[in-house]
Amino acid sequence: MLVLRDTIEIETTPEQIFEWFRHLDDNYRSWHPGHVSCRYVRGHDLQDGSVLYAEEYLHGRLHRFKFRLTEVEAGREFKYRIFPGVRGGFRLRPTERGTEFVAEIFLGWSIPILGALSDAVLNVFFSDHIEAIRRHMRDEGIHLRALLSEETASSVVNR
């Protein structure tokens, strides 16, 4: 199984980040320039079983995804599944300066022979796509930090 992971520290609380994600349908386009649209097609507000439909550009092509939320722990993490062999999640861990934001995508399976075979196929035929996903994940972390830093600064100024 291939694991793509990006970690960044954001100077805000885990609760504020989680709240931002609760309104992902409204915030999605501002998160990354490659994001086109996002809406709940089942459920809402980061609940187990909710389904988000999203469109975004990856490696120059428009992709359409349905993210089924499989596990949600308010203020700490949420996990999703796109389709068999593709899942991911976001974890929020408090730090002295704010929150460690961890984004993960898991590609393939951990089944002994099938997992190794799927990893080899992904690495040989999709290495450019995988690298584009890594860059996209990194950009999302950087943009999220900038967005939430702006929100924190403006809420302090407006007090």
Q: Which residue has the tokens 């989680």?
A: 18
Predicted TM-score (pTM) above 0.75: yes
Question: Which tens digit of pLDDT belongs to each residue from 22-68?
Answer: 999 999 999 999 999 999 999 988 999 999 999 999 989 999 999 99
Which CATH number is associated with domain 2-157? Answer: 3.30.530.20
Write out pLDDT tens, residues 66-103. 999 999 999 999 999 999 989 999 999 999 999 999 99
Tell me which amino acid residue 146 is: A
> Dihedral of CA 67/68/69/70: which sign?
negative
Q: How far apart are CA 152 and CA 74, in angstroms?
A: 20
What are the boundaries of each domain within the chain?
2-157
Angle between helical axes of 24-31 and 127-157 (0-180°, round to 10) = 110
